[in-house]
Structure 1
Amino acid sequence: MARRHAPARNRVWAERAAEAERAVRSRSLHRLAGVVPGTRIGRVAANRPVGPRTLLGPWHYWWQAHLLDCLLDAQLREPSDRRGRELAALVRGIRLRNLGRWTNDYYDDIAWLGLAVRRAGVRLRRTGPKAVAAITAQLRAGHTPHGGGGIWWRRGDDFKNAPANGPAAILLARTGDVARAVAIVDWMAATLVDPDTGLVRDGIRPDPVTGVWTVEGLAYTYCQGVYLGACVELAERDGDPRWARRAAAVVEAVREHLAEPDGVIGGYDDGGDGGLFNGILVRYLADAAVRLPALAPTAAHTAAHLVTASAERAWENRAADASGPVFAHDWRRPARRPRPGTPESALSVQLSGWMLLEAAARLERGR
């Protein structure tokens, strides 16, 4: 009897993610200062000139960390020797642009780079472990009892927030410091989760007069993403059932409060840091969809739906230029071609769109 051949696997999202990758690489990826051999860096705006003067302007350390993460997503989707070399070149570019250091004063920045560098693993040979060691040492030093626990947002500041503590907890858990990660995420659950909505609020700071710690009430999308990612990580590494329960609760809160009825996640009128917020959320929604089915099947299904619904809308609303697709800062709206002063020109916004398509492609592979 002739053997039946299985149908070819659907690769719609993989192909779309590849288009997004080509567009971002074409617009944004270049040598440091345009000339330094063996390096890469991300141009922060599509219309910004490339050259030595860029060393004097903004470069956004944490955006570069997410560019590295996106390249790693692409490498998992479709391995390439060329991309593997570019991963190492980007890490060299980031370190050189950061004056030869792995760290800066912002705990959230360094946690993002630590996560990406650790994911790169053997591709970075000897530099990766040194970078992760320097970053985790600074994160541990930033974990203090002030405000009940948690890590500071930056050195010398009085603010403790979700965007620093979530990625720090994920990295610490992945590097073996599970007990500290547990303490951080328990602090987030007790301090930052809104008991009325279930959403994770931004952070806490002490009143300058009374010293009483108060909560900053804004619940950004990336606050939900990093808390969800930490809960999913601990569900696997710590095993206590509270992590799956908390992950499921925040997925439901996102569905109810931050997404349209059809599951599309709303955005921000921001071509700056806010351009990355939704991309971070969908990265960890995809992580929950892949890793939680046995522990929280309804939450895993909801998380997958939020990713694919948002990806469909963002793709429908894309614009295009000579490099490829252009994504809007708010996936619910039609994108414009990148022009000076438009959010679409920002690397952060285009990375978020790329992250979204890589998240959908990850779910496609999982099926």
Structure 2
Amino acid sequence: MVIAKLLAARAGVAERAVYSRHLRRVWGVPGTLLGARAWPPLLRDKLHTSFNYWWQAHLLDCMIDGYQRSPSVLRKAAITKVVRGIRVRNVLGWTNDFYDDIAWLGLALQRAQHELGIAKPKALDAIAERLRDAWTDHAGGGIWWKRNDDFKNVPANGPAAIFLARQNDRTDLARARSIVDWVEDNLVDPASGLAWDGLHVHPTGEVREVEKNIYTYCQGVLIGACVELAKHGQQEKWLDRAARTITAVHDDLATNGVIRGQGGGDGGLFAGILTRYLAQAVLTIPELDPARHETADLARELVIQSAEAAWLNRVSAVSGPLFGPEWTIPADEREGRDLSVQLGGWMCLESAALLERHGLNVTGA
């Protein structure tokens, strides 16, 4: 039996560790913060010479999770500083050449506006316009991974679809549906039900090669997009797809209910992202279709078991716990240096704490 508010307390400990170890001003500019890439930080990390744009978007998302768990003036001020830090460090504007990067930031800024009233309309407009323009008919549709490239992938199409579905605009919602239909038709393995990474396109528009790597966060954004679209009609279609993917994750990408890790670097975020959208599925699916409680229970099990394993396998370090990229084994300090890995652990704990707040923290309850 999980003690009431235990998961929230764990998430708070993870939050404080990231705040104390990673948050630093951008080039000494007042009113700014960003997450240093690694800890202990080297000089280049302190100076933010390497800018992991999409890691910062997930830092912002995690900070918003923390605010929702325990609202405070200090948390809101820190979130405001990170938003400004991203803009300052990005130098020329809010966007870059990677459509997946800007979709992640767009999702975090949508939440900042909706949950905290931190509105950046110019940023959201710029991101929305860029994502709308990313769709082409090459390979039958979908959006590109980056500008002037030959690759279309789930890590760009998934978050873009969620972002556009949340724009509260009929045209954007239609585009979100088209994006997820394109992913379904081109990048979902009919045998396993899992989403592949992406595909390369000839200049003629024909598919050259499909990259069949399986990444946990691809499943997360596909689940998230289907759940988001189910709120706007065709519930059976979208919830069927979400349920299939959740089952496939449970069967093929988890060990005893614990989502498998995919290393440090960018991979440190993958499992955490999956838990974020599994938690949303747990909350949303029963509201839309109470008969699908088994799907929600399966998603809940994955979140709670993963969070428990991440916590039990942490190691103690300066200023708090240090998580590893693989939650089923004890963390290694060398593997936990990356901000991404710590955000992945924190994100997972916040996902479990969210379920706890809704009384859904005990598997099988």
TM-score bracket, normalised by the shorter chain, equals over 0.9
- Post-superposition offset of 1:204: 0.8
Pick closer, same or farther for the CA change 1:88–1:74 going to 2, 3 Å. same
- In 2, the alpha carbon distance for the partners of 1:349 and 1:223 equals 17
- Post-superposition offset of 1:366: 1.1
- Whether 2:210 is the aligned partner of 1:215: answer yes
- In 1, the alpha carbon distance for the partners of 2:44 and 2:29 equals 10
Secondary structure of the structure 1 residue equivalent to 2:276: helix
% identical aligned pairs: 52
Amino acid at match of 2:321: P
2:300 to 304, 307, 318: 304
Secondary structure of the structure 1 residue equivalent to 2:20: helix
Assess if the C-alpha contact under 8 Å between 1:205 and 1:214 holds in 2: yes
- Post-superposition offset of 1:219: 1.2
- Post-superposition offset of 1:274: 0.6
2:65 corresponds to? 73
- Post-superposition offset of 1:213: 3.4
Q: CA RMSD in A?
A: 1.9
- Post-superposition offset of 1:240: 3.6
- Whether 2:360 is the aligned partner of 1:365: answer no
- Post-superposition offset of 1:100: 3.8
Assess if the C-alpha contact under 8 Å between 1:232 and 1:291 holds in 2: yes
Pick closer, same or farther for the CA change 1:315–1:79 going to 2, 3 Å. same
- Post-superposition offset of 1:349: 0.1
Amino acid at match of 1:236: K
- In 2, the alpha carbon distance for the partners of 1:222 and 1:148 equals 23
Assess if the C-alpha contact under 8 Å between 1:13 and 1:357 holds in 2: yes
Assess if the C-alpha contact under 8 Å between 2:199 and 2:207 holds in 1: no
Secondary structure of the structure 2 residue equivalent to 1:189: helix
- In 1, the alpha carbon distance for the partners of 2:249 and 2:118 equals 40
- Whether 2:281 is the aligned partner of 1:288: answer yes
- Post-superposition offset of 1:62: 0.2
Amino acid at match of 1:331: W
- In 1, the alpha carbon distance for the partners of 2:62 and 2:43 equals 21
- In 1, the alpha carbon distance for the partners of 2:194 and 2:214 equals 6
Secondary structure of the structure 1 residue equivalent to 2:196: coil
- In 1, the alpha carbon distance for the partners of 2:71 and 2:196 equals 38
Pick closer, same or farther for the CA change 1:276–1:52 going to 2, 3 Å. closer
1:60 corresponds to? 52
Matched pairs, number: 352
Tell me the TM-score normalised to structure 2 length: 0.92
- In 2, the alpha carbon distance for the partners of 1:363 and 1:53 equals 35
Amino acid at match of 1:242: K
1:321 to 317, 320, 333: 317
Pick closer, same or farther for the CA change 1:316–1:219 going to 2, 3 Å. same
- In 2, the alpha carbon distance for the partners of 1:52 and 1:19 equals 23
1:46 to 39, 57, 69: 39
- Whether 2:237 is the aligned partner of 1:245: answer no
1:157 corresponds to? 149
Moved more, 242-251 or 115-124: 115-124
Unaligned runs of 5+ in 2: 360-365
1:167 to 159, 176, 188: 159
